[in-house]
Amino acid sequence: MNTTPLSIPPLISGGIMLSYRCTSTCRHCLYRCSPDRPDEWMTLDMAETIFTVLKKESYLQSIHIAGGEPTLKWPLLLDVIRLSRKMHIPVEYMETNASWCKSRTTTQKKMHELKEAGLTSLLVSVSMFHNEFVAFSHTRNCVEIAREVFGNENVILYLPHMYHLIAEMPGDGKHSLEDFCDHHGIRPGSLSLLKLYDVVPSGRAVSALRHCYQKRSVATFSGQSCRNDLLSTTHFHIDHEGNLFTGCCAGIAQATVPDLHPSVLSDTHPVFSMLCTEGPFGLMETSGKEHGFKPRHEGYVSKCALCLHVREHLSETGKFHELRPSYFYSE
């Protein structure tokens, strides 16, 4: 048993998630957001607590405001932006999927509201995964009007080449992933599809895009510690309940505001500690002995896929407070 406490390093850059609720159910979504997630949102009090704690982070460079889709609760979003400005929190940008940009007139009005509240920059998500749920006309409205309101240099396209590939599709509506592949001559289920976006093989991707990866036996993942991933704070997230997630590791909250740097011990944080030392293979072995976990015979597409399967099993026991929120563990 590991008795040396781990500690989360100073936070560098990250996102504030107002909710897990989204208009879309993108196949690559790390946080498995969707319209079916509970209608639970960050309160303004929680935002204030989070900002107060973040102000004490000496190395914090920037934060961004994210969802789910943060624009779904428009008055709350404006209040959070105003609060961040009042508290001198360095908000780099707000992230959106552009689903709210159907009408150019309404989009224009809302962009000005965001700017007046204190927002200075917008990140617009665009990919073949987003385009299954958001018409390209909405994305185009969002980008063009944001450029008018915030200035060209303050609109981030994530990712620019995806914008052009979607723009080349016939019509400016939604397109299925299969249609996208067909139009661009990409074999569906191929790695080249994922390389277009640099998909992280974690979150929803391990199930919704599993056909694009080759499965490997669990032994392949033996000895792969996740210490570097879990102690990485260059892209952390804090959700609406104040749970902190490090690396790209959604669903493992080793800290909650106001204490974002607790002593992490194997008896208080068994999942996090085991993943930092033995990785998902070690977690699988312990979970097999102590909680009856059985891995899939066919193997897994990545170490994160194995990790997620074990954590889904552990979450069902209700014994692991680190595995939050519980609905992250249901598809």
Which residues make up the interface to ligand SF4 (CB under 6 A)? 22, 24-26, 29, 33, 67-69, 97, 125, 130, 202, 226, 229-230, 247, 249, 275, 280, 303-304, 307
Using DSSP bridges, classify how beta strands 236-238 and 243-245 pair: parallel, antiparallel or unpaired: antiparallel
**Nearer Cβ to ligand SF4, position 76 or 226?**
226
| Nearest-approach distance from CB 55 to ligand SF4, in angstroms | 26
Would you say the C-alpha torsion 49, 51, 54, 56 has a positive or negative sign?
negative
Specify the residue, 200 or 265, whose C-beta has the smaller distance to ligand SF4.
Answer: 200
52 vs 66, beta carbon nearer ligand SF4: 66
14: enclosing H helix or E strand: strand 13-17
Instruction: Kindly state the smallest distance separating residue 203's Cβ from ligand SF4, in Å.
Output: 8
Residue 192 beta carbon to ligand SF4: minimum distance, rounded to whole angstroms = 21
33-51 burial code (b ≥16 CB/10 A, e <16): bbeebeebbbeeebbeebb
C-beta of 250: minimal distance to ligand SF4 in Å? 7
Task: From 226, 165, 169, select the one nearest 196 (Cα to Cα).
Answer: 165
Name the minimum Å distance from CB 34 to ligand SF4. 6
Q: How far apart, in whole angstroms, are the C-alpha atoms of residue 63 and residue 275?
A: 26
Q: How many CB atoms lie within 10 A of CB 331?
A: 12
Q: In this complex, which beta carbon is closest to ligand SF4, that of residue 48 or of residue 225?
A: 225
Alpha-carbon distance of 86 to 83, in angstroms, equals 5
Q: Whole-angstrom Cα distance, residue 12 to residue 252?
A: 19
How many Cβ atoms are within 10 Å of 214's Cβ, its own excluded?
7
CB of 52 vs ligand SF4, minimal distance in Å: 26
325 upstream amide cis, omega within 30 of 0: yes
Q: Which two tokens stand for residue 166?
A: 């979607």
Token output for 70: 């943060």
Nearer to ligand SF4, 85 or 291 (CB): 291
Could you tell me the end-to-end alpha-carbon distance of the chain, in angstroms, rounded to an integer?
32
Minimum gap (Å) between residue 178 Cβ and ligand SF4 = 18
Nearer to ligand SF4, 45 or 198 (CB): 198
* Closer by beta carbon to ligand SF4, 142 or else 249: 249
